Amino acid sequence: MALVNTAVTLALRGRRVLVVDFDVEAPGLDTFDVLRPREEVPGIIDFVAEYVKSGKAPNVAGYIGDCSDIGQEGGKLWIMPSGRNDTYAATLGQIDWVDLYERRDGFVLFEDLRKQWSRTVQPDYVLIDSRTGHTDSSGICTRQLPDSVVILFFPNEQNLRGLTQVVRDIRAEADEPRRKNIALHFVMSNVPDLDDEDLILKDKISAFQKQLGFQRDPMVVHRYDSLSLLNQVVFAKDRPRSRLAHEYSDIVREISTRNWNDRDGALEYIQRAGERRRWLEDDSILTRDERLVKIEEGHRDDGEILFRLAELRETDRQTESAAQLINQAIHHGYDRPEAFLKRSRFRADNGELDGAVEDAWRVLASEHIAAPMVREAIWRLVRLEKREPQRFVESNAVASLDLNGKFWLAGTFNRSRDDLLIAVALWEPIVALSDLRPDMRKRARRCLGLSYMGLGRCAAAAALFRDTELEVAEMEIVEAFNYGMALWGIDGAIDRETFIRVVEIDQSGEENEETANYLQCMVIAYWAVGETDKAVDHANRAKRALTALGGRSEFSCWRYLQVSMSTFERDLDEILVMIENNELRTPRFMAETGTAALGC
């Protein structure tokens, strides 16, 4: 069942799959409808018997049956059955497997068979069904023929005892004289889906891992109670959303990731290579780096694989190799925005400024790309090429963002005054939208007002913070505080009424927060109404709150910018000096924009 579902899954994904029924004691793969050949053919036992009789390896084409087409991806299934049903027992009885190897060059026969499979079918995968026990023919399937062995077992002592020597023999193939490394994949099969409160299963898994020498948790195929199994339903094809089909897919994924020629497997391996090194090194026939080289060599013309390799090399700090792979990926057709964005970064780092600018504009010329990519492209252009922010806003990339994407993008430009110019250019058309929901309009007006403040445009900000239909005593705390700061910027004096409103709301407990930004705002508010002791207390609490940031940045109302922790702390110290000296100082957002005494 596991082999059939694996074969079907691979074929449905467009792979060419040859299935070989070498379970000579209990054959029957061709009893599954999907593996029943169009015309009956002899099988592996007949092939060997003919060789014993004639002394020559037969043409394998006559022993392979073509199965019905499957799926829409161009995959194909072939089967080399165990043998003809009517003569199977008699033919099997004629074969002496020991004599075949000792006197009749059986080893050479099966090496020839491998080559004939490749020439005749040109398969992506050959899946061989075999018993893993101690039989005369088992070594052919577990040691001579395979590149990988999938070992299915029920986790009990009997299976552990039987598998120990089998696994030892497979691993011994890596020694002289053959030096053949065979990958091992361990799958617990028919496992009850029950709570393991007594850790019975956990202990069994540990015993198998220790004695069989593997570290990762084995894959699992749970017991599946369904009468469909009596009809030999292929779950991968007929019930693809079932749990059983998903568990078989895990086996396919495990096998394909060890096959660097499989495109899907290569992509999956690259992804895992950046996430879990332990998974990569356990039971692997190649090291991580060796396998990545194989993948690169096998997919030199595949732009996406080259791009994913470039990402991984960059993570590994192999920037020169990553840059080369990016160029190759784009050359081979991977002309997606993320490739140009990454190449823009590499070019900028290498001093190729014109190329970096060109690639960043290619990103902005694209449509329907993620907002973080848009932000990085704009950020790079701002630093490499001074342009009017309006050109960024009118780009295809920005225009095609949905409203949530535009909100996020505009909200990220708040770390410098160059950033704020872009933020204003992004927020203004959002605020002007006629069909904006009231809650989103309120948020957009607030954010645009904050950007205006950081640029010293205090009068424009005040108009956004103050709803003309509301008295100051009716304003919410955020609007009241920022409106008071805007009036300070306009008049160069404190408007006590607005800050009284802020203090009232804070003391009511409705809006109490312990963030560094909120506490910093309350320092100014309490100082403005003459409660200096509470202002100093809030300043000390704000400094303590900084430690909870873990090195992250914070928004400072002294600058109306997102700043580092050290800058935020300096701003607090400036405010404390103002309080201690009882003198009106010019906040940074006014002093650094030249708005003090200019009326904004």
pLDDT in tens, 478-488: 999 999 999 99
pLDDT of residue 223: 87
pLDDT of residue 282: 55
> Is residue 64 predicted with pLDDT exceeding 90?
yes
Integer Cα distance of 18 and 79 in angstroms: 6
Three state DSSP letters for 42-73: CCHHHHHHHHHHHCCCCCHHHHCEECCCCCCC
Taking the CA atoms of residue 381, residue 384, residue 386 and residue 391 in that order, the dihedral angle to the nearest 10 degrees is: -20
DSSP code per residue over 69-119: P-SSS--EEEEE-S--TTTHHHHHHT--HHHHHHHS-HHHHHHHHHHHHHH
Two structure tokens written together for 563: 């700043």
- Identify the band that residue 176 occupies on the pLDDT scale cut at 50, 70 and 90: confident
Most confident of the following: 137-151, 226-240, 444-458: 444-458
Integer Cα distance of 377 and 408 in angstroms: 15
pLDDT of residue 595: 55
pLDDT of residue 534: 96
The 10s digit of each residue's pLDDT in 373-422 is 999 999 999 888 877 888 999 999 999 999 999 999 999 999 999 999 99
Average pLDDT over residues 146-165: 92
- Identify the band that residue 599 occupies on the pLDDT scale cut at 50, 70 and 90: very low
Average pLDDT over residues 354-381: 95
Average pLDDT over residues 200-229: 89
- Identify the band that residue 256 occupies on the pLDDT scale cut at 50, 70 and 90: very high
List the one residue out of 170, 194, 197 whose CA is nearest residue 181.
170
pLDDT of residue 584: 84
Average per-residue pLDDT for the chain = 91
pLDDT of residue 596: 44
Residues 362 and 355: beta-carbon distance below 8 Å: no
Buried (b) or exposed (e) across 313-339, using 16+ Cβ within 10 A? bbeeeeeebbbebbebbbebebebbbb
DSSP 259: -
pLDDT of residue 514: 86
pLDDT of residue 283: 53
pLDDT of residue 600: 43
- Identify the band that residue 552 occupies on the pLDDT scale cut at 50, 70 and 90: confident
pLDDT of residue 578: 94
- Identify the band that residue 598 occupies on the pLDDT scale cut at 50, 70 and 90: very low
**What percent of the chain has a predicted confidence (pLDDT) above 90?**
74
The 10s digit of each residue's pLDDT in 115-141 is 999 999 999 999 999 876 666 677 898
Amino acid 259 reads: N
- Identify the band that residue 585 occupies on the pLDDT scale cut at 50, 70 and 90: confident
